[in-house]
Structure 1
Amino acid sequence: MKSFREKHSHGDRLFPFEFFDQSGEVNEQVCFLHWHDEIEWLYVCEGKINIFVDGISHIINAGEMYALEPHILHYMIAIEKSRYLTCVFDRHLLEFALADYVSCQYINPFIEGKLTIKNPVICSDLRIQNTFFNILNEYKNQQISSQLSIKLNLLYIFQDLIENNYLIPLEQNKHNLLAVEKVLQYIEKNYQEKITSQSLAQLVNYNHQYFSRYFKENTGYTPIEYINHYRIEKACELLFDMDLSILSISVECGFDSCSYFIKKFKEIKSMSPKQYRKVLLENYEKEQRYLMSKSVKKS
């Protein structure tokens, strides 16, 4: 699973926390298959999100929260036009230096992985939603006390979870994912080469028909669907390089045909590679203007 660890670091050593305000269109895959060391709390403000956790589908509606444990393979698809807020952080942010009853009964067992959060968290009032928006505002403002405020708001959410009985003992997942891990690592190393579903089944000594079903149960994709999604994600990285042609990117990512590459790219990203590159460039220019304006204000 090492190869599917998210390479992006969340926060820094002193404050391992990052916040995302994200949106998705109908049937858009809003994040690719990955895992990370931190926990993730996601709140859906609008629409409906399908979260696939170890290949199992979980529908999260507006007004609901979903909590992901560390080291869990997951990806997400927006079922409807959606907006969702996400906190990704080290669970040690919740702990206190001095022990008290709540720490011993709830916080420490949660940090140690003995307690988990029962999903989805159905928010009957606006308390959790308002808390997520408070975190969003503090994360954007970056005032001298913002990190303290973010930590307090995370604890407010945790308080709600305790009061509404969403903390439960963690059941150990006994499902063996070693074959899937081996296949995922193989695809990452060899995605530029020709890969078939049959060759992947042989890699783990499985019957082809059984392997295809087993793989989809644990990732949400057929083997070929996953290969195409992985290749498209690698293509998205290469589209940052304006010197590379669409044809050369398709070849670099293992596609036999440029037309097939464009077809699959449109299916997965809902736009052509050329359009995607244009959006990347526009977003990059906006970000540079924003950073420049912040720099001018500070000076």
Structure 2
Amino acid sequence: MKKIDIFHPLTLNVGLAIHNADWNWQNVTSPFTRIYYVTKGHAKIILPSGEYQLKPDHMYMIPSFTLHSYSCEEHFEHYYIHIYEKLEFESSFMDDYNFPVEIKGESIDLELVKRLCELNPSMALPKSDPRSYDNDLTLSEYITRNEQRDITLKLESRGILFQLIAKFMKEAKPKEDDIDNRIKKTLIMIQKNLDKKISVEDLAKEACLCKGYFTRLFKEKMKTLPTHYIIQRKIERAQQMLTIKDISIRDVAAELGYDDCSHFISIFKRETGITPQDFRMHAIDMH
């Protein structure tokens, strides 16, 4: 089965943002992809690949986990779409391509974006400050809100996302199959085995590298140690389970390979700032 066959993007957020020189945020990185359609004014995004001037009638894409900043010194209006992909067993096909940052927008693209807004009025952001929505708790809330929608809304929304992503795909180029493939294999292994204890030794063996070199290479490519990456993915899965399943905290811990529930609670609080119990109660209050 090809990766595109199991690509299931979710409309995490969508709406129209109107700014007056107040879209200035630094060092943003998120677990979702952003697409912008600019309608009025100008602004700037700073990416690792360079600075890009945002201008009307153009669309822009910022892939997930890409460190970036914003700069806006005038009136500026744009539609934003946040696209989340919940990976269960495989890495995304989008990880295999370098997508263009900017493409020319067409009238049909703008109509699709407006239609996506009409279908998802509850997905608009109350604030543009990334700190208000780009956090584990809010992310899980929007994912749950998405999953609880009527199936017809999901189908049409997903169809629009496919069309918009396809526009960028026309100019995308496959990433080189070089050393990154060894790390990619371990990411797939982690995602498939979140219910088990995963050692760095096992990952290094999967990558056919010694433990020391693998750890250095992983940190270079993923900007974090493999042990912390595993924890991040497990906590992300725990949040999904706590939000949508009627399951005890102890069972959540067990399903993620933690024999000691207290240890799991401690790690959860360290990573998110709150306990699993508090996280679940907040999610219930929101829905």
Q: TM-score, normalised by structure 1?
A: 0.49
**Structure 1 Cα separation of the partners of residues 254 and 215 of structure 2:** 26
From 219, 228, 239, give the equivalent of 1:236: 239
**Conservation of the 8 A alpha-carbon contact between 2:98 and 2:175:** no
Paired residue for 1:31? 31
**Structure 1 Cα separation of the partners of residues 175 and 236 of structure 2:** 32
From 194, 198, 203, give the equivalent of 1:195: 198
From 202, 208, 225, give the equivalent of 1:205: 208
From 113, 134, 142, give the equivalent of 2:114: 134
- Aligned CA RMSD, in angstroms, stands at 5.4
| Matched residue type, 2:8 | S
Is 2:271 aligned against 1:276? no
SS of residue paired to 2:60: strand
SS of residue paired to 2:120: helix
Aligned residues: 213
Is 2:2 aligned against 1:9? no
Higher RCO (Cα < 8 Å, 6 or more apart)? 2
Per-residue deviation at 1:231?
A: 1.3
**Conservation of the 8 A alpha-carbon contact between 1:29 and 1:268:** no
SS of residue paired to 1:31: coil
Unmatched segments (≥5 aa) in structure 2? 16-24, 39-43, 71-78, 85-96, 122-151
Per-residue deviation at 1:207?
A: 1.9
**Structure 2 Cα separation of the partners of residues 256 and 131 of structure 1:** 51
Cα-to-partner distance string for 1:242-280 (whole Å, 9 max, x where unaligned): 643222321221224333322332343343211221233
From 82, 93, 104, give the equivalent of 1:86: 82
After TM superposition, the structure 1 = structure 2 runs for residues 154-165 of structure 1, keeping only pairs within 5 Å, are none
Per-residue deviation at 1:224?
A: 0.4
From 21, 35, 40, give the equivalent of 2:13: 21
From 30, 36, 43, give the equivalent of 2:36: 43
Per-residue deviation at 1:230?
A: 1.7
Is 2:228 aligned against 1:248? no
Q: TM-score, normalised by structure 2?
A: 0.50
**Structure 1 Cα separation of the partners of residues 53 and 172 of structure 2:** 26
**Structure 2 Cα separation of the partners of residues 182 and 154 of structure 1:** 28
**Conservation of the 8 A alpha-carbon contact between 2:46 and 2:68:** yes
Is 2:61 aligned against 1:66? yes
Paired residue for 1:266? 269
Residues 1:172 and 1:31: Cα distance change in structure 2 (over 3 Å): closer
Residues 1:239 and 1:181: Cα distance change in structure 2 (over 3 Å): same
